[in-house]
Structure formats: structure tokens, C-alpha cells
Amino acid sequence: MWTAACCGSLESGIERAGGLIVSTLTSKSQADANRRLNEVIVSGLGEGAGPWRIGLGDSASDSASRSSVLFLGDVALTKEAGRRIEKDGPGSVFSRCPTDFFDADVICLNLECCLTQSAEMFEPKPVMLVGDGCNLSAIPHPERCVVAVANNHFLDRGEKGAADTIKALESFGIGAVGVVVGGEVGQPDIRRTADGSIGIMAFSGCAHRLPDTARVNIVRHDAGEICEAVASARSRVDVLAVVLHHGVEYCPYPHPDDRRLCRRIAAAGADLIISHHPHVVQGIESFDDCVVFHSVGNFLFDPADRYRPENSWTIAVRAELSEGRLQHLVIEPFVLSENSLPEPMTAEASSSFGAHLRRLSLELHDERTARRRTKIAQRARLKERIDSAFCMVRRVGVGRTAQYYWGRLSNR
């Protein structure tokens, strides 16, 4: 069933990443290793109900102590979540999660909003995600939490809103990655556990940066600069996790550009890549011994279309460290309820969802099938951009739309 040609990590040639040259020439031994890891991923997903456990390390380490890092998808502390926090208290939004769910040494999530009272607007977008800084009281164990802010909503209220968001995070003792403050890039965020250190970095390919003169901004997302940053961080930690905010919204397949970026980041030294932005779950694959979750979905979010169940499916990824290595990944399936609150899937639902996730992953592992699926993603991205432009024309007119896109091109 499996051949080297089926492995999703096969890519030849040399790519130049700024001053760093990243070789993506995959030897047969590396191709075999990636093929075996892809088989482990599919085997770990299994046929039954979740959670699913994927073993990455040696079996001898099974008896060792383990530290864990919990990775979650998009969390928007706005709208429905904000109203619930105000009405029922900060503990209400995660009240349906198991009592021990957040018992991890580190918690990492994507903060898909800005937290401010500012009325400033950076760009005329159809959807703005803006909440109040006090909503951060809903985050369990804030001192253990690292949030990624490199996304397309952190700058919804411009520089003032971004500065207010960072100030709110600091007041709760929550770390942030993917942000530049006063010219300083505060990543990787390095957390030390009893079983090794983990570094967390965040980047976004779908966000639009403020001008370089801004005091608060998201990090640059040029592929070469990302790879240089990852390679530089590699020697400083035992395990390196990269959080990416990119992809095509509501498409179950990753775009080929995004897969290529993940390959390069893996080659630069990442051990784990966790992605979000599509708002639906996508498949899992490996590149150069790095496990890539192409999209883990929303974790606390108002679904755009409640009639499509896949918009409400999400996974939490629990990475277990032992002896300074990433040893296991535990995938826990959740669903957003009718109130947009995350709750564990029932056994029956998770069994069906597991088969769906397994199929999406298998399609990525077979390169010929993956190429056919990525064509769907290419068409979906083109449609997404055309729809966005037409929506902006209807809202602000042709002149303002043209000015907006010219500004984006000038600021690249």
C-alpha cells in the first residue's frame, strides 16, 4: 500500500530562504522515515472513538514521567463568548470541558481577536473581532498560557487596539508570540518543564501588517525570514513548535503554498507545526520527522454556518515530552455546541469524525491524491479573494477598495 512515492514529504531541489539555504532534497532514508511516521499517524487515528494517541518516541520511554503542552485552535473572546462571560462569569465558556482538560504544563492557543475599546479601524474588513480585555479572565491558568497573536484579527483596531491587547495580556500574566513591540520580537517563548524545554513561535501568512513604523505589529511572514527565525531558535530548546495562521477558509484541504511553507519550516528545525485559520479541521502529515497539523479548527468561536457540522468540529492537540523529546501526541476531538461552547464529542460522533480525519490525512500522504485535492484549495482561495474584493466594493466603494489594495501592495 505504501511506497516512497506516496510520501507527502518528497520534494527535491534547493530553496533559498534569505541568507539561509534550506535543502529539501529528501534522501531515500528520510523518505522511508517520513513514510513510517505517516503510517504511525494513520495507525494512531485508528478506527474507533477518540481521543487518539500517536506514539513518536521509543517504547522504552513509556514509563518515564511526562510533561505536556496543550495546543488549541482559534479562540475569539468576543460576541457570544463575551456576552456569556459577562452574564455567567469567566468560567462559563469552558464549563463543558473535562475538569482536568487544562492540566498541562503549557497551554497555547490562537487569540483570534483584539481586546480594546478603541474605535480605530486598520482596514475595511467585512468581519471585525473585537472584545474587552477583561474577557481574558476566562483563560484557565494564565501563567501557563502562551497565545499566538499573529493572525488576521489582532490588528482589527489598528496600532492602538494591538497595544491595548498586549497590555491586557501582560496584566493577566499571559505570554504572546508572533508580535513585534517596540522593534523587539519576543519569540520563541521558551517554557521549561520537568521533562525538557519547549519553544513556541507564531507566524501568519494571511494577516496584513501595519507599516514598519508602528510600535506594535505582527512579525514578518516572508517564508525566508520565517525559516531563518526557526533555524536560529532550534538550538535553544529541546522541542520547537511553530504555530501558523494561514490557509483557505472553510476548505478541508491545505493550499499547496502552505504545504510548501510547512516543508521548509520542518527542514529548518521545527518538531511540530500547529495551524489554524480555515475554521475547519484539515489532515495531518509529516515532513522531515516534523508532525504537521494543517488546521485544528476553532476552539471557541461563533460558527459561520451552523448547518454545516464540519464548521463546529475541532481538535485539541496534547504534546507529551519526556527525556527532552516529543514522545506522544494525543488528539482530543471536540465540537462547538449550539452556544458555541467547546465540549467533547460523544463516542459515536468522534468515531465518525476520526474516520473523516483519517481520510483527510491519507489523502495528503498520497502525493497524487494530494495534488488533486490542492487544486480544490487553489480554486477556493481564488474565489475567497474575489468574494472579499466584491464585498469591500459594496461596503466602501470602488475608490476606497482600490486605495486599500494599493496600500497593501505598497506595504509588502
**Could you tell me the three cell numbers for 359?**
481520510
**Of 122-136, 229-243, 248-262, minimum mean pLDDT range:** 122-136
Pair 302, 177: CB distance under 8 Å: no
Helix axes 28-45, 347-365, angle to 10 degrees: 160
**pLDDT value for 407:** 67
Question: Cell 460558527 belongs to which residue?
Answer: 303
What is the tens place of the pLDDT at every residue in 131-186?
999 999 999 999 999 999 999 999 999 999 999 999 999 999 999 999 999 999 98
**Could you tell me the three cell numbers for 113?**
481577536
Q: Which long-range contacts (CB under 8 A, 24 or more apart) does 87-93 make?
A: 90/135, 90/137, 90/138, 91/138, 92/138, 92/341, 93/138, 93/300, 93/341
CA-only gyration radius of the chain, Å: 20
Average pLDDT, the chain: 87
Sign (positive/negative) of CA torsion 142, 144, 150, 152? negative
Residue spans of alpha helices (H) in 172-276: 223-234, 256-268
**pLDDT value for 62:** 55
Q: What is the mean pLDDT of residues 94-123?
A: 94
pLDDT at 17 over 70: no
SS3 assignment, position 173: coil
Q: What proportion of the chain, given as a percentage, has pLDDT over 70?
A: 89
Pair 262, 221: CB distance under 8 Å: no
**Could you tell me the three cell numbers for 212?**
514598519
* CA–CA dist 128, 409 (Å, integer): 22
* H or E element that contains 273: strand 272-276
Grade residue 58 by pLDDT with cuts at 50, 70 and 90: low
Domain ranges of the chain: 4-410
**pLDDT value for 6:** 37
Q: What is the mean pLDDT of residues 92-98?
A: 95
Sign (positive/negative) of CA torsion 330, 336, 341, 347? negative
**pLDDT value for 69:** 98
pLDDT at 201 over 50: yes
**Of 13-27, 93-107, 130-144, 373-387, minimum mean pLDDT range:** 13-27
**pLDDT value for 65:** 61
pLDDT at 270 over 50: yes
Question: Cell 495562521 belongs to which residue?
Answer: 245
* CA–CA dist 220, 227 (Å, integer): 11
**pLDDT value for 21:** 37
Residue type, 135: N
**pLDDT value for 64:** 55
pLDDT at 279 over 90: yes
**pLDDT value for 4:** 33
Grade residue 315 by pLDDT with cuts at 50, 70 and 90: very high
SS3 assignment, position 248: coil
**pLDDT value for 299:** 95
* CA–CA dist 344, 86 (Å, integer): 24
Residue spans of alpha helices (H) in 215-346: 223-234, 256-268
* CA–CA dist 26, 45 (Å, integer): 26
| 305 vs 314, residue with greater confidence | 314
Through-space distance between the first and last CA atoms of the chain, rounded to whole angstroms: 44
What is the tens place of the pLDDT at every residue in 334-361?
999 877 899 999 999 999 999 999 999 9
pLDDT at 303 over 70: no
* CA–CA dist 145, 110 (Å, integer): 11
pLDDT at 202 over 50: yes
Q: What is the mean pLDDT of residues 295-305?
A: 83
**Of 14-23, 165-174, 215-224, 380-389, minimum mean pLDDT range:** 14-23
What fold is seen in the domain 4-410? Purple Acid Phosphatase; chain A, domain 2 (3.60.21)
SS3 assignment, position 380: helix
Report the predicted TM-score, pTM, of the whole model to 2 decimal places. 0.89
Grade residue 393 by pLDDT with cuts at 50, 70 and 90: confident
CA 145 centroid distance within chain: 15
**pLDDT value for 124:** 80
**pLDDT value for 408:** 65
